[in-house]
């Protein structure tokens, strides 16, 4: 098991997933999914499990991919539909629109909080010359980071809007993380990935990044995260130390 350290003599940038790593929004996402899926599943299957189903099939994936993956696991097929569907319609797009509506209503009402340990880590990394990026599959990634008051701690944000514009595949494909590294003019081996979801950790491993750190919150299984590609697993980023400095010529 690797020591929980980011060594800035070999790592020049850290790429952070947002939900469950930067912003305390994973529980809100899970609750919104349960609200939508339970209404749809009534009479079709057992209710959505807010822990197991969310972590296994939905967490970390683009919204529509999460719907396809979860329903596929239940042996349920629905039409794709279109972005013009009514929220809650029995289509992939309709369910996705309903989930987005429920989640964003929560955000508008209650706001978004950043994890204090993540904010502390971001400050330390930047003080030591490392560059940072927020990477999210969500179309609302930039809005959530902004709402949490931490946008200024990132050199750039790559989110679901970039994925849509560039036709990038979602996690577990590493395309979003690789795009962030490209914009920072760094090879993947010179950057670390921090994620809390199995697809994101798998993406970090597939992308050839210099370090993959998993945050195992809310009962996530450390063994599964390691099997997916995490070299370091912590329950909170306060457990992660930073060593060294990034030389000025590579910062």
The residues spanned by each domain of the chain are 5-24+112-250, 26-110
Fold (CATH) for 5-24+112-250: Rossmann fold (3.40.50)
Fold (CATH) for 26-110: DNA polymerase; domain 1 (1.10.150)
Does 85 qualify as catalytic in the annotation? no
Does 19 qualify as catalytic in the annotation? yes
Nearest to 217 by CA among 73, 115, 93, 76: 115
User: What's the CA gap between 133 and 127, in Å, rounded?
Assistant: 15
Choosing from 19, 65, 159, 195, which is the catalytic residue? Answer: 19
The per-residue pLDDT string of the chain (251 residues; one tens digit each, 9 = 90 and over) reads 588 999 999 999 999 999 999 999 888 999 999 999 999 999 999 999 988 899 889 988 889 999 999 999 999 999 999 999 999 999 999 999 999 999 999 999 999 999 999 999 999 999 999 999 999 988 899 999 999 999 999 999 999 999 999 999 999 999 999 999 999 999 999 999 999 999 999 999 999 999 999 999 865 688 899 999 999 999 999 999 999 999 886 44
pLDDT of residue 9: 95
Tens digits of residue pLDDT in 44-59: 999 999 888 998 899 8
Choosing from 17, 59, 65, 162, which is the catalytic residue? Answer: 17
């Amino acid at each position: 098991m690797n020591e929980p350290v980011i060594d800035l003599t070999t790592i020049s940038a850290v790429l952070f997933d947002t939900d469950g790593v930067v912003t305390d929004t994973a529980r809100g996402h899970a609750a919104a999914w349960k609200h939508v899926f339970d209404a749809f599943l009534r009479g079709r299957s057992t209710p959505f499990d807010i822990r197991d189903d969310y972590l296994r099939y939905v967490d970390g994936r683009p919204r529509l991919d999460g719907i396809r993956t979860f329903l596929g696991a239940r042996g349920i097929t629905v039409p794709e539909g279109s972005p013009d569907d009514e929220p809650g319609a029995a289509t992939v797009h309709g369910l996705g629109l309903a989930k987005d509506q429920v989640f964003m209503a929560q955000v508008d009402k209650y706001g978004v909080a950043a994890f204090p340990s993540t904010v502390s880590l971001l400050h330390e990394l930047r003080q030591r010359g490392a560059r940072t990026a927020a990477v999210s599959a969500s179309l609302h990634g930039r809005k959530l980071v902004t709402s949490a008051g931490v946008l200024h701690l990132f050199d750039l944000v790559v989110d679901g809007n970039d994925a849509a514009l560039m036709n990038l595949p979602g996690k577990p494909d590493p395309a979003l993380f690789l795009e962030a590294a490209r914009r920072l003019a760094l090879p993947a081996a010179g950057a670390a990935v921090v994620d809390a979801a199995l697809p994101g950790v798998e993406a970090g491993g597939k992308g050839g990044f210099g370090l993959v750190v998993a945050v195992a919150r809310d009962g996530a299984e450390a063994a599964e995260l390691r099997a997916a590609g995490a070299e370091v697993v912590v329950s909170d980023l306060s457990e992660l130390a930073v060593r060294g400095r990034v030389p000025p010529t590579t910062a």
